Amino acid sequence: MNLSALGWNESFTAAFSPFSNAGLVPARVACEHKHAFELYSESGLVHAALTGKLLHEAQVRADLPAVGDWVAARLRPGEPSADIHAVLPRRTKFSRRAAGPRPDEQIVAANVDVVFLVTALDANYNVRRIERFLAVAWESGAQPVIVLNKSDLHPEPDRARREVEAIALAAPVVVVSALDHHCRDLFAPFLRIGQTLAFLGSSGVGKSTLINAILGEARQSTGEARISDSRGRHTTTRRELLLSESGVLVMDTPGMRELQFHDQGADVEETFQDILELAHACRFSDCSHRDEPGCAIQLALDEGRLDGERWASYLKLAREEAYATRKNDQAAARKERAVWKKINAGQRARRLWAQRNEVD
Ligand SMILES: Nc1nc2c(ncn2[C@@H]2O[C@H](COP(=O)(O)OP(=O)(O)OP(=O)(O)O)[C@@H](O)[C@H]2O)c(=O)[nH]1
Ligand SMILES: [Mg+2]
Ligand SMILES: [Zn+2]
């Protein structure tokens, strides 16, 4: 296997140099099992485990490898297996809040160049959801492409295209039927060796069917949608970076209705309608519900009309929401810095190149 065909480029070389001195090799995470990873390396597919040191030093989940990551690995001599010593900084990343008690960041996909946000033109077609996915996609650093699949099921696919183009900004919109023979041609402009493509979207929209069509191989299982509401059945159950015979690198992912970062607010409101209504009756509109006079929440707690545990769980969610928002702001700032870094690196590279040519 050739590293550049696996998506390696100069942006990783600098980050890797300390590891190459230590005798490690670069490898890319193809998929993740419970306690193990599969990696693409120059010597082919290898199984790998994390070193205790990496596990120990990881502060948060996002410090551990995710599908698409480049890692520094030590190959075990004579075996198709390796140990992962470090994760290289991600060029792009999709993350969402992990389920669970701590609002931890979960990396959905790393180092993706082009992300296809897939929606089906069936009963679940929803422009607002595409809008939300798009917002997260722009933050990831990858180039988003909106895919309206199952055009064969829509009476006026061109009307849908116009509607979506109106919110797409700079993202191209592809209207397609995965069952159509010409499907692959529509994706041809994106199929370049070394480019990492990823497909995201709800279960049943046809991500795996599109991937099979693009690869020209029946690589991924696909599943019938439920008849009742045409939702999918979560046929794909793990994220996986596939490398086709033709050299196309594409990530299939399990169905995801939302990328959670942006949507939490609506959930909190829906779930805690009663509390929000109570808060309307506080004397001060910016009441913090701690010890202000005329606080309707404190009064309701005192009188037993509001359950203390329910209040505590509201506070917890509200805090997490604030955390997620803060995190999004940080992501935006990071992205801006990254752009400048790229520009500076470009200037530096040009300068070095010019110096070198002078010497030659
Ligand atoms: N009519 C029609 N059906 C399609 C099209 N694309 C996919 N399907 C069908 O939709 C169903 C779901 O397709 P999948 O490719 O499994 O969907 P998925 O997005 O990978 O779903 P998960 O793996 O569950 O996330 C299958 O029965 C496909 O044959 C299309 O363009 N038109
Ligand atoms: Mg699938
Ligand atoms: Zn109050």
Give 117-134 as a DSSP string. EEEESSTT--HHHHHHHH
Per the model's pLDDT, the better-predicted residue between 93 and 98 turns out to be: 93
Closest CA relative to residue 71, chosen from 83, 55, 58, 88: 88
In sequence order, what E strands does 88-160 have? 93-97, 105-110, 114-120, 143-149
CATH of 94-259, one of 3.30.390.10, 3.90.1170.50, 3.40.50.300, 1.10.357.10: 3.40.50.300
The CATH architecture to which 263-360 belongs is: Orthogonal Bundle (1.10)
Q: 150-180 burial, b if ≥16 CB within 10 A, otherwise e?
A: bbeebeebeebbebbeeebeebebbbbbbee
Question: Which residues 6+ apart lie within 8 Å of 103 measured at CB?
Answer: 97, 320, 323, 324
Sign (positive or negative) of CA dihedral 19, 23, 27, 32: negative
Q: How far apart are the first and last CA of the chain?
A: 32
Residue at 134: amino acid letter:
L
Per the model's pLDDT, the better-predicted residue between 126 and 240 turns out to be: 240
User: Distance, CA 296 to ligand 3 centroid (Å)?
Assistant: 5
* Residue nearest atom 14 in ligand 1 by C-alpha distance: 206
Hey, what CATH topology would domain 4-89 get?
Answer: OB fold (Dihydrolipoamide Acetyltransferase, E2P) (2.40.50)
pLDDT of residue 112: 96
* Residue nearest atom 10 in ligand 1 by C-alpha distance: 206
User: Distance, CA 225 to ligand 1 centroid (Å)?
Assistant: 7
Report helix, strand or coil for 51: coil
* The two structure tokens encoding residue 207: 């991500």
pLDDT of residue 151: 96
CA separation for the pair 319, 220 (Å, rounded): 40
pLDDT of residue 126: 86
* Residue nearest atom 23 in ligand 1 by C-alpha distance: 236
223 Cα nearest atom in ligand 1 = 16
Residues 276-328: pLDDT tens digits? 888 888 888 888 888 888 999 999 999 998 888 778 877 876 776 665 666 66
* The two structure tokens encoding residue 145: 């492409």
Ligand index nearest the alpha carbon of residue 282: 3
Percent of the chain past pLDDT 70, that is, above it, reads: 81
150 Cα nearest atom in ligand 1 = 31
Residues of the chain within CATH 3.40.50.300 domain(s) are 94-259
Residue 137's pLDDT band, with cuts at 50, 70 and 90, is confident
